[in-house]
């Protein structure tokens, strides 16, 4: 081969290696931007703040804006980055800590990338997937928000998506996530939290003497505090102290308050000390298994233990409208149970069979989606230790609050 041919061959090999990188760089700089830009003569949109929240299992990145924007996002590797393109923004009001990262976001940068176009770059601590991304309109004094939910991914998954448009969007029909959804035609979203047992009914008692009624009351208060940060939630509890409330009274309380969700918290004991982990139950007249049936029987005896006379109740299911409402309620309950289990898995040890169903009386409201959460087993030393930990309760309670918020975002989106 002649020297010229050798040189040409080397040049071709070099170009063949460089061209994909050059093409990818061109896409990264230009592709999303051709559709995302400010209109001629428009003032830049003010950026009020930006922040990352969460942990290495799930991180939410939020940009507060004076009004809604269109956006496009994609990923780049080595180092791992998420790139967000938006119309031109005014970043002058951003605080210094706006550059600080958290969880899956190490740091983030922002600035003008072209005329009428701005870019934010999230430097990641590891490969991620963009689980969700959306824009929320301003509402009742709350700013518009651009929201990205990030979850861990393998390097192979991440590299497979590099350079591809991962998400693109404009105004969502959902309302602000940090001030989550009012359902159509309603005021605040009413959440009823139900700490099991109370008063004369101790519930389960651990080997150390700790009582279920005390643990779940404190845990429920932690969940309430986490949810109260959302101005669109009205959070109520069936009991706030060591008071006995019958099962029927708990159900009726949720219905009278117009609850859009009821979550009942418990912590059981079993004879097998090795059994541990959280379980989420939904209502079903036919139990999913023998364990679920026995637990439902046990919980349903709470009123008997407290000396409450069980009066016959009218059969509401006979009414076809109630029956239709019950079916929809059951579907929503199952949907929430599935989402809750997925959201808490990173921070909460789950039972080997974490989603079950049984005929729990506390879940029988025909028009209130309801689940019963067994946080763990006081008969297991590992679970009992965690249940007694204030830091563990705060972490899990916060994740449950996030799950409730995400659930109503989806419900609101579907209604919209």
User: pLDDT averaged over the chain?
Assistant: 77
Q: Which residue has the tokens 């009123």?
A: 303
Residue 288: its pLDDT value, please? Answer: 57
Residue 374: its pLDDT value, please? Answer: 94
Phi and psi torsions of 124, nearest 5°: -95, 155
8 compared with 208, residue with greater pLDDT: 208
Residue 97: its pLDDT value, please? Answer: 58
- Name which of 374, 322, 328 is nearest 348 in CA terms: 374
- Name which of 284, 220, 262 is nearest 367 in CA terms: 262
Helices 320-344 and 390-415 cross at an angle (nearest 10°) of 130
Helix (H, G, I), strand (E, B) or coil at 329: helix
Residue 321: its pLDDT value, please? Answer: 43
pLDDT at 178 exceeding the cut of 60: no
Residue 110: its pLDDT value, please? Answer: 86
Q: Which helix (H) or strand (E) holds 6?
A: helix 3-30
Please tell me if the domain spanning 33-169 has the same topology as the one spanning 189-415.
no
Q: Which residue has the tokens 């030393």?
A: 381
Rounded average pLDDT over 222-251 = 91
pLDDT > 90: percent of the chain: 29
Confidence of residue 25 (pLDDT cuts 50, 70, 90): very low
Are residues 239 and 217 in contact, defined by beta-carbon separation less than 8 angstroms?
yes
Confidence of residue 317 (pLDDT cuts 50, 70, 90): very low
Are residues 331 and 395 in contact, defined by beta-carbon separation less than 8 angstroms?
no
Rounded to whole angstroms, the Cα distance separating 9 from 13 reads 6
Confidence of residue 104 (pLDDT cuts 50, 70, 90): very high
Q: Report the topology of domain 189-415.
A: Aminopeptidase (3.40.630)
Task: List 73's β-bridge partners, or say none.
Answer: 84, 167
- CA separation, residue 191 to residues 176, 385, 395, 414 (Å): 17, 28, 19, 19
Rounded to whole angstroms, the Cα distance separating 127 from 57 reads 12
Rounded to whole angstroms, the Cα distance separating 280 from 263 reads 10
CATH number for the domain formed by residue range(s) 33-169: 2.60.40.3500
Mean pLDDT lowest among 43-47, 90-94, 173-177, 295-299: 173-177
Confidence of residue 181 (pLDDT cuts 50, 70, 90): very low
Are residues 75 and 156 in contact, defined by beta-carbon separation less than 8 angstroms?
no
- CA separation, residue 9 to residues 3, 12, 20, 23, 360 (Å): 10, 5, 18, 21, 75
Are residues 195 and 217 in contact, defined by beta-carbon separation less than 8 angstroms?
yes
Residue 149: its pLDDT value, please? Answer: 86
Confidence of residue 39 (pLDDT cuts 50, 70, 90): low
Are residues 135 and 71 in contact, defined by beta-carbon separation less than 8 angstroms?
yes
Ordered by start, the domain boundaries in the chain are 33-169, 189-415
Residue 217: its pLDDT value, please? Answer: 96
Helix (H, G, I), strand (E, B) or coil at 223: helix
Task: List 167's β-bridge partners, or say none.
Answer: 73
Rounded to whole angstroms, the Cα distance separating 132 from 339 reads 14
| Residue range 363-391, pLDDT digits in tens | 888 888 999 999 999 999 999 999 999 99
* CA angle centred on 347, ends 342 and 349, rounded to 5°: 85
Rounded to whole angstroms, the Cα distance separating 378 from 275 reads 10
pLDDT at 315 exceeding the cut of 50: no
Residue 326: its pLDDT value, please? Answer: 65
pLDDT at 316 exceeding the cut of 60: no
**Predicted TM-score (pTM) of this structure:** 0.55
């Amino acid at each position: 081969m002649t020297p010229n041919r050798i040189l040409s061959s080397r040049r071709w090999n070099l170009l063949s290696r460089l061209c994909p990188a050059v093409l990818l760089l061109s896409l990264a700089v230009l592709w999303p931007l051709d559709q995302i830009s400010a209109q001629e003569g428009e003032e830049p949109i003010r950026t009020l703040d930006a922040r990352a929240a969460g942990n290495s299992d799930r991180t939410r990145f939020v940009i507060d804006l004076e009004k809604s924007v269109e956006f496009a996002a994609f990923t780049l590797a080595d180092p791992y980055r998420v790139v967000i393109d938006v119309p031109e923004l005014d970043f002058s009001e951003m605080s210094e800590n706006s550059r600080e990262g958290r969880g899956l976001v190490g740091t983030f940068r922002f600035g003008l990338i072209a005329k009428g176009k701005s870019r934010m770059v999230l430097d990641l601590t590891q490969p991620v997937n963009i689980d969700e991304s959306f824009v929320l309109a301003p509402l009742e004094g709350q700013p518009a928000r651009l929201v990205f939910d990030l979850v861990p991914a393998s390097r192979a998954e991440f590299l497979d998506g590099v350079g591809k448009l991962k998400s693109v969007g404009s105004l969502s029909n959902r309302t602000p996530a940090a001030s989550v959804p009012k359902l159509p035609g309603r005021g605040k979203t009413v959440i009823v939290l139900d700490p099991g047992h109370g008063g004369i009914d101790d519930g389960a008692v651990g080997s150390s003497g700790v009582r279920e009624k005390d643990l779940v009351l404190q845990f429920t208060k932690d969940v309430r505090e986490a949810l109260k940060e959302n101005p669109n939630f009205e959070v109520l509890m069936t009991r706030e102290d060591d008071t006995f409330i019958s099962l029927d009274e708990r159900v009726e309380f949720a219905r009278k308050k117009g609850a859009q969700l009821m979550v009942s918290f418990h912590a059981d004991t079993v004879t097998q000390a090795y059994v541990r982990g959280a379980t989420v139950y939904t209502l079903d007249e036919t139990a999913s298994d023998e364990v679920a049936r026995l637990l439902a029987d046990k919980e349903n005896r709470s009123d008997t233990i407290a000396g409450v006379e069980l009066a016959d109740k009218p059969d509401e299911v006979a009414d076809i409208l109630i029956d239709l409402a019950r079916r929809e309620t059951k579907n929503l309950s199952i949907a929430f149970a599935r989402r809750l289990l997925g959201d808490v898995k990173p921070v909460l040890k789950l039972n080997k069979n974490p989603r079950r169903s049984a005929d729990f009386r506390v879940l029988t409201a025909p028009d209130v989606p309801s689940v019963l959460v067994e946080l763990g087993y006081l008969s297991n030393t590992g679970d009992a230790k965690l249940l007694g930990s204030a830091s563990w309760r705060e972490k899990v309670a916060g994740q449950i609050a996030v799950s409730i918020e995400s659930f109503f975002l989806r419900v609101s989106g579907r209604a919209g």
